[in-house]
Amino acid sequence: MAVRQLRYEGDEILRKKCKEVTVVDDKIRELLDDMLDTLHTMPNGAAIAACQVGVLKRLVVIDMGNGVIKLVNPKITGTSGVQESIEGCLSFPDKAGITVRPKKVTVQAQNEFGEEILLEGEDLMAKCLCHEIEHLDGRVFLEHVISFVD
């Protein structure tokens, strides 16, 4: 495992669309592990997308303290409700804002072994899933900010 360099605001890779993973193999599992190691070096980090470490693959790692979730090719298949909350991003460390996101989301993905999974998230997890999956499409949380906070 290794800690990878995080990409920050202004890096064009954060605005590029990630490519679908066609084969979930040891290289993908190693990258997911590197993403987790990188996430664990960041203060207040809950999740990370592959583009944030410079890799344009549809991969997300989440660790909000309830166990690690590794997602390959995640996509949101359903949403409901609305929530406003404070949101930030590892790649934009000096910015935080109030965003509007779904209160509940359903996500279809593969796990680190290529098995199909269905995941539901509410509240903080819903916000996190939306945030990270949007990274995979070259979108960032700033697009959802309705007001900035200090």
**Residues in binding site for Fe cation:** 89, 131, 135
Closest by alpha carbon to 20, among 57, 71, 70? 57
Half-sphere exposure of 136 (CA within 13 A, CB side): 23
Rounded to whole angstroms, the Cα distance separating 130 from 128 reads: 5
Tell me, yes or no, if 120 is annotated catalytic.
Answer: no
- Active-site residues, by number, are 132
